[in-house]
Amino acid sequence: MPITKSTKKAVRKSIKRAVKNKKKLGEIKNLLKEVKILISQKKIEEAKKNLPKIYKILDKVAKNGLIKKNKADRLKSRVAKNIAKNNQK
């Protein structure tokens, strides 16, 4: 249990940050899942419309250090590649 004022405040801050980080990661996961479902339903145009949203969120969380830059790049690449692959069919 924290004793000093500063450690009590640090605990409060870390809890708030953890909640915010969890929400952002959940948002990313949901968007990626949504695009995957759209692709499986052959709604490629709708999936393409979600692509800028995915890029924006992934870039932001990578910038803030929630995920690493390479992971964000990898996820963006995989989504774009998946859309392009299914667009040709």
Summarised one tens digit per residue, pLDDT across range 5-29 is: 999 999 999 999 999 999 999 999 9
DSSP 8-state class, residue 65: T
In this predicted model, what pLDDT tens digit does every residue of 29-84 receive, in sequence order? 999 999 999 999 999 999 999 999 999 999 999 999 999 999 999 999 999 999 99
Say which CATH class 5-88 falls into: mainly alpha
CB 31 within 8 A of CB 50: yes
Strand intervals (E) in the chain: none
Which residues, at least 6 apart from 76, have a Cβ–Cβ distance to it below 8 Å? 54, 55, 58
Q: How far apart are CA 58 and CA 79, in angstroms?
A: 12
Question: Tokens 């499986």 identify what position?
Answer: 40
Domain boundaries, the chain: 5-88
Provide the pLDDT for residue 28: 96
pTM tops 0.85: no
* Token output for 16: 């708030």
Terminal CA-to-CA distance of the chain, rounded, Å?
A: 59
